[in-house]
Amino acid sequence: MASIMRCSTKTGSPAEFTTDCLVAGRERALEVAESFDARALVEQCLAQAPENAPTVAALPGRIKTLLVPPVGRQPLSEAQFRKCAAQAATALAALRVTSAVWCLNDIKVAGANGQRDAYWKTRTGLAALSTAAYRYHEQKSKAPKRRPLSRVAIHAGPGERNQVALAVRHGNALDAGLRFARDLANAPPNVCNPAWLAAQANTLAAHAGVTVETLDEAEMEALGMGAFLSVTRGSDAPAKLIVARYQGAGESDAPVVFVGKGVTFDTGGISLKPGAAMDEMKFDMCGAATAAGALKAAAVAELPINLIAILAAAENMPSGNASRPGDIVTTLSGQTVEILNTDAEGRLLLCDALTFAKRYKPAVVVDVATLTGACVIALGAHASAVFANDDALSAALIAAGATSGDRAWPMPLWEDYQAQLDSNFADVANIGGRPAGAITAACFLSRFAKGFKWAHMDVAGTAYRGGKAKGATGRPTPLLFQYLLDRIASPAAVPKRKAP
Ligand code: BES
Ligand code: MN
Ligand code: ZN
């Protein structure tokens, strides 16, 4: 697995630090340079640097280099600060240094309700660093030679120490969860099959409060999960229903349940996908990876909540044994489904996983899935889609996305769309035609989310990138983790009582 980055908090005067690299805005950088008798040198570097690009200047002494990202006119908007942080983090990760101190709290940022505090700025900076410093080289025959950036301290100004320390604690926990999610999702599909996912999930049990159980196909069969099992029929890799539980609160505290789509490879089955970019369908388990990642982050942060991650893991393959278009299966809920397209497999896994989730008497259930190509058409790569049967839950998820910079946007779940799922032969069909494909997929799931507060996140556009920067993003782990933090901060705003 990718190496761990450890961040810490640093107080005191930056000019007195010892570090490979000090990251600071122009004014602070010049102040530090001054104390090294290198002001003229650094001024020259800054003057020669291309506009809007970070400047790197060597210093003679305890601080080896100065990295000066362009900040621009303050106060910055949140988006400008994110951009600035991303630029600094990318430049820092590209330097051949192993330690750094980052001064980002003297930058003024205008938020919706006044200035953003040191906690938010530190979290935002660490999120950028987490993204910039991540590498996946598990499958390269030679490990990279250079040592990665492993120690970064965030500078806390006077009176900011506690805020920054808490942000660092949360940032480190999120980084651990994100890395876990990304490593799982980036693994090749000949390695990452349902049994391998279960083995990886078992490692979560090393954290205090975490237990992991896995149901095999016989156990799912006995329960009556006919829709789930229909997906795996064509595969030689047995399906698994993985249940990771983190108990950070009292036994009677209703858990938050995250359900993740874990299709370790989606060929489409008998409704075979076209060949182009089919390799990317190894990312069809990103929902499961990020649900597990969020649980890891919560456990590392020792959050006072109960959380369950249910990972619905199966491989969707064509074979003589595979499900056919026209097959009718009986779900765990008792409803029957006509499979009109075997490529609409995610909802077949999730419908049974949602019914299964009900046994935990959840406070809320949030499922996460790379569910539809239609969602990519609707929102692209910038926002995940949120569908919910509860307005407060939807709003809380969208807000958590805005805070964490891992944005999501609401979509309708109106009754009007349900008719597209009518079947002549079963209770419901598994596809609703081309119009509003992301919505009809959510409508299908909604039929299995009765009696509890539920949200569905379609992350088909956000969970991974294709092309040159191909790889898992770890989204929406940051949003999910922030949602948990927000629940703790305002239990009244997110009632823990029973479902509607
Ligand atoms: N895993 C895909 C959805 C997907 C497509 C994710 C592209 C990321 C990028 C899903 O299982 C699927 O194949 N959905 C079908 C549904 C259709 C048959 C109703 C789709 O979107 O085409
Ligand atoms: Mn599919
Ligand atoms: Zn799929």
Over residues 192-235, the pLDDT tens digits come to 999 999 999 999 999 999 999 999 999 999 999 999 999 999 99
Helix or strand or coil: residue 396?
A: helix
Q: Which long-range contacts (CB under 8 A, 24 or more apart) does 271-275 make?
A: 271/325, 271/341, 271/342, 271/343, 272/318, 272/343, 273/343
Are 356 and 225 contacting, i.e. CB atoms less than 8 angstroms apart? yes
For the question of residue 447 being annotated catalytic, the response is no
Q: Classify domain 186-492 at the CATH class level.
A: alpha beta
> Out of 233, 347, 453, 487, which one is annotated catalytic?
347
The answer to whether residue 84 scores a pLDDT higher than 90 is: yes
Residues 154 and 11 sit within 8 Å (Cβ to Cβ)? no
Q: How many other C-beta atoms can be found within 10 angstroms of the C-beta atom of residue 202? A: 16
Place of tokens 């992350």: 459
Q: From residue 290, give the alpha-carbon distance in Å to each of 53, 283, 295.
A: 33, 11, 8
Question: Looking at the domain 6-159, which fold is it?
Answer: Leucine Aminopeptidase, subunit E; domain 1 (3.40.220)
Bond into 50 cis (ω within 30): no
Conformation bin of residue 451: beta by default, left when phi > 0, alpha when psi is -120 to 50:
left
Please give the distance, rounded to the nearest whole angstrom, from the Cα atom of residue 235 to the centre of ligand 3. 14
pLDDT averaged over every residue in the chain = 95
Domain with CATH 3.40.630.10 in the chain: 186-492
Q: Is the CB of 183 under 6 A from ligand 1?
A: no
The H helix count followed by the E strand count for the chain is 14, 22
Confidence of residue 491 (pLDDT cuts 50, 70, 90): low
If 0-12 CB within 10 Å is exposed, 13-18 middle and 19+ buried, where does residue 78 land?
A: middle
Among candidate residues 303, 492, 481, 322, the one with its CA nearest the CA of residue 404: 481
Atom of ligand 1 nearest to the CA of 346: 11
| Ligand 1 contact, 341 CB (< 6 A) | yes
Residue type, 437: G
Which tokens belong to 118?
A: 């040191």
| Average pLDDT of the residues in 109-127 | 95
Examine the pLDDT at 494 and tell me if it is beyond 90. no
Closest ligand 1 atom number to CA of residue 431: 19
**What's residue 497's pLDDT?**
45
Please indicate whether residue 458, judged by its CB atom, sits closer than 6 Å to ligand 1.
no
385 neighbors 409 (Cβ within 8 angstroms): yes
For ligand 1, atom 17, which residue shows the shortest CA distance?
344
Encoded tokens for 461 = 């556009």
| 347 tagged catalytic | yes
Cis peptide before 495 (omega within 30 of 0): no
Q: With contact defined as beta carbons under 8 Å apart, do 59 and 33 qualify?
A: yes
- Confidence band of 490 (pLDDT split at 50, 70, 90): confident
Non-local CB neighbours of 319 within 8 Å, separated by 6+ positions: 233, 234, 235
In the block, tokens 């006919």 appear at: 226
C-alpha span between 411 and 398 (Å, rounded): 11
Backbone φ, ψ for residue 82 (5° rounding): -60, -45
Q: Is any atom of ligand 1 closer than 6 Å to the C-beta of 462?
A: no
Report the interhelical angle of 477-489 vs 161-186 (nearest 10°): 140
pLDDT at 256 exceeding the cut of 70: yes
Q: Whose CA is nearest to atom 3 of ligand 1?
A: 372
What are the residues facing 381 on neighbouring strands?
A: none
Output b/e per residue, 204-218; b: 16+ Cβ within 10 A. Answer: bbebebbebebbebe
Cα-to-centroid distance, 341 and ligand 2 (Å): 9
CB 431 near ligand 1, within 6 Å: yes
pLDDT tens for 38-50 read 999 999 999 998 8
What Rg value do the Cα atoms of the chain yield, rounded? 24
Beta carbons of 180 and 270 less than 8 angstroms apart: no
What pTM did the predictor assign? 0.96
Asked if residue 34 lies in contact with residue 179, where contact means CB atoms within 8 angstroms, the answer is no
* SS3 label, residue 253: coil
**Predicted pLDDT of residue 147:** 75
Q: What one-character-per-residue DSSP string does 471-494 give?
A: EE--TTHHHHHHHHHHHHH-TTTS
- How far is ligand 1, taken at its centre, from the CA of residue 340, in Å? 14
Two tokens at 248? Answer: 């950070």
CB 97 within 8 Å of CB 112: no
Residues 267-319 have pLDDT tens digits of 999 999 999 999 999 999 999 999 999 999 999 999 999 999 999 999 999 99
Is residue 376 in contact with ligand 1, taking CB distance under 6 Å?
yes
Residue at 289: amino acid letter: A
Cα(329) to centroid(ligand 3), Å: 18
Q: Quick check: 327 pLDDT over 60?
A: yes
500: cis peptide before it, omega within 30°? Answer: no
Q: Torsion angle, CA of 437/443/448/450, rounded to 10 degrees?
A: 160
Q: Which ligand is nearest to the CA of 461?
A: 1
Kindly state if the Cβ of 373 falls inside 6 Å of ligand 1: yes
Give Cβ neighbours of residue 379 (< 8 Å, ≥ 6 apart). 385, 409, 461, 462
CA 257/CA 246 separation, integer angstroms: 10
Give the ligand 1 atom nearest the CA of 345.
11
Domain with CATH 3.40.220.10 in the chain: 6-159
Tell me how far the alpha carbon of residue 218 lies from the centroid of ligand 2, in angstroms: 24
3-state helix, strand, coil in the chain (%, to 5): 40, 20, 40
471: its two tokens: 């790889």
